[in-house]
Structure 1
Amino acid sequence: MTTTEHSPTAAGSGASASQVFRATHSAADTASEASAERVDDVARAVLRAVHQVIREKNVSYPEFQAVKQWLMDVGEGGEWPLFLDVFVEHVIEEVAARTQNGSVGSIQGPYYIPDQQRVDSPATLPARPDEQGDPLVLSGQVTDVGGKPVAGAELDIWQADSAGYYSGFAPDIPEGNLRAVVVADEQGRFEINTVRPAPYQIPTDGPTGKLIAAAGWHAWRPAHLHLFVQAPGYRRVTSQLYFAGGEWLDSDVAEATKPELVLDPQPGDDGRLHSSYDFVLEPAS
């Protein structure tokens, strides 16, 4: 992976992810969605699972104290969004998908930033004048489950650059770089001009990285594009689109890849890579 002059740190990424999460989620609103009975049921189940692991693995006091210190470090370093989104969110998404129709989804991840520039399709993502990377064109159509075009559907897209870094989470990258809300036309069609992103390594200099190193895991995610696809009256689709033959595609640390989400861009006569992908939205419940 190519590096920039000043690489992002776990602390910096964690602080940014925590700030964005707090700004876009109200703890009071989230808590009100669950009854006391539901909280009791889930919390007791989680604790039973932890207790069972301790018994089965004969966890010692020194190991327990090490885990306690690690949990404290994760919180103090602001890495809970990073840790939970990488190691837990894919199962939450899997459960949610059981009752969903329409396009296959994936995880959101920790690097989303709301309220980005709105641009009509065909669109070019905001980028630096000398933005590096292979030019990529993603096109397609948004329809409902009956095949009817969803006019004016929004595709909130964000991605890493050709060095694997996200704006807002790495120094020296302009705000809003490779981020935008693309508005599809009256037929739900869209065309997005950007660059092919690179795989990236989640920050490893903090407590999450220490766990990864101690367990002998790798910390890489395959290259991908993030998207929210949405329109009034429809359930929002959260997606990640990957690239055929890409590194780490079969061993994503976040376990979020799916065969249905893999693109196979082909070179066009204009010297750019071209790929198409259609999205299907189901009515909101």
Structure 2
Amino acid sequence: MTSTDQSPTARGSGTSATQAFRASRQEHTTGAVSAERVSSVVGRILSGVHDAIRAEKVTYDEFQAAKQWLIDLGEGGEWPLFLDVFVEHVVEDVAAETQQGTKGSILGPYYLPGQQQLPSVASLPARPDEKGTPLVFAGQVRDTDGNPVAGAELDIWHADSEGYYSGFAPHLPDGNLRGVVVTDGQGRFEISTVQPAPYQIPTDGPTGQLIEAAGWHPWRPAHLHLIVRAPGHRPITTQLYFEGGEWLDSDIAQATKPELVLTPVEQGDGRLRSEYDFVLERG
């Protein structure tokens, strides 16, 4: 992601991510959690924090610095960014233990619901002068028995060729490189778009301060985001990466998996083509 005056700030990204999360949360509200479950999970988290403090001999100065950082993280609206980058991949690993079919990955902070619905063969909405290498992404959605899933939805979104996401970078039009593609009667789809670029998460706020203080890098490899869903099937949230891509082996979000790496093929007309089939379990 190139640094320009158009770059999304951590605060702006945090605000957008928080609004999108709240909207999505209202649509997918779950039942109340029992006091026993809250006590068990929160108690285990606090126990881990206590163990780290004792093992690392954390000082009062370090404790006060951590307290200030947590306050700044909340005031800056960066909780979605921090949790999605550093925590979500473990939650997804746990969820995967009971899932069959396509490997999942993290949702990330840049999902926006309610995008334009598109036919099985479609181009993602883009600017007339959209830069980047043309990419055709095609495949089929099947169930775990190998049957095609007609009318499945592929909710797809990705960064542009400079690493920016619409809805989070002020210079991009709403809905750019986002859409919901509906498979045909054989569960097939073919999506024309551009190859996304790697990007760095916003570093001008508390999350960036932590990354710098720890000596880590803030980069994510180029990827396509997808939620694949169909009535009567368990939805899959995943990300697809590109073979040989930068940061593939050192993703700051630790979300890459070998099963999710595409191998684009040159088509001889300046386009790349990648194929990937999705498998949904019934549920």
CA RMSD of aligned residues (A): 1.3
Alignment of 1:206-221 (within 5 A): 206-221=205-220
Query: Which residue does 1:11 correspond to in 2?
Result: 11
Displacement after TM superposition at 1:26 (Å): 3.9
Contact 1:4 1:163 in 2 (8 A): no
Alignment of 1:33-112 (within 5 A): 33-112=32-111
Displacement after TM superposition at 1:3 (Å): 4.3
| Partner Cα distance (2:131, 2:28) in 1 | 42
Query: Which residue does 2:127 correspond to in 1?
Result: 128
Between the aligned residues of both structures, percent identity stands at: 69
Unaligned runs of 5+ in 2: none
Query: Which residue does 1:274 correspond to in 2?
Result: 273
Q: What does the per-residue CA deviation read over 1:219-259, in whole Å, with 9 as the maximum and x for residues that have no partner?
A: 00000000000000000010100000000000000000000
| Partner Cα distance (2:3, 2:65) in 1 | 32
Number of residue pairs the alignment of both structures matches: 283
Determine if the alignment matches structure 1 residue 173 to structure 2 residue 172.
yes
Contact 1:3 1:163 in 2 (8 A): no
| Partner Cα distance (1:203, 1:132) in 2 | 22
Q: What does the per-residue CA deviation read over 1:79-110, in whole Å, with 9 as the maximum and x for residues that have no partner?
A: 00000000000000000000100101100000
Displacement after TM superposition at 1:21 (Å): 0.8
Contact 2:133 2:270 in 1 (8 A): no
Query: Which residue does 1:250 correspond to in 2?
Result: 249
| Partner Cα distance (1:38, 1:28) in 2 | 20
| Partner Cα distance (2:180, 2:262) in 1 | 21
Q: What does the per-residue CA deviation read over 1:102-146, in whole Å, with 9 as the maximum and x for residues that have no partner?
A: 101100000000000000010100000000000000000000000
Query: Which residue does 1:204 correspond to in 2?
Result: 203
Q: Secondary structure at the match of 2:39?
A: helix
Contact 2:156 2:225 in 1 (8 A): yes
Query: Which residue does 2:21 correspond to in 1?
Result: 21
Contact 1:149 1:188 in 2 (8 A): yes
Code of the residue aligned with 1:21 in structure 2: it is F
Q: What does the per-residue CA deviation read over 1:38-77, in whole Å, with 9 as the maximum and x for residues that have no partner?
A: 0111111111111111111110001000000000000000
Code of the residue aligned with 1:271 in structure 2: it is G
- TM-score between the two structures when normalised by the length of structure 1: 0.97
Q: Secondary structure at the match of 1:194?
A: strand
Give the stretch that moved more between structures: 94-103 or 261-270: 261-270
| Partner Cα distance (2:173, 2:141) in 1 | 30
Give the stretch that moved more between structures: 222-231 or 263-272: 263-272
Displacement after TM superposition at 1:24 (Å): 1.4
Query: Which residue does 2:146 correspond to in 1?
Result: 147
- CA separation of 1:143 and 1:87: change in aligned 2, threshold 3 A: same
Contact 1:8 1:170 in 2 (8 A): yes
- Ranges of 4+ aligned residues in structure 1 off by more than 2 Å: 1-5, 26-30
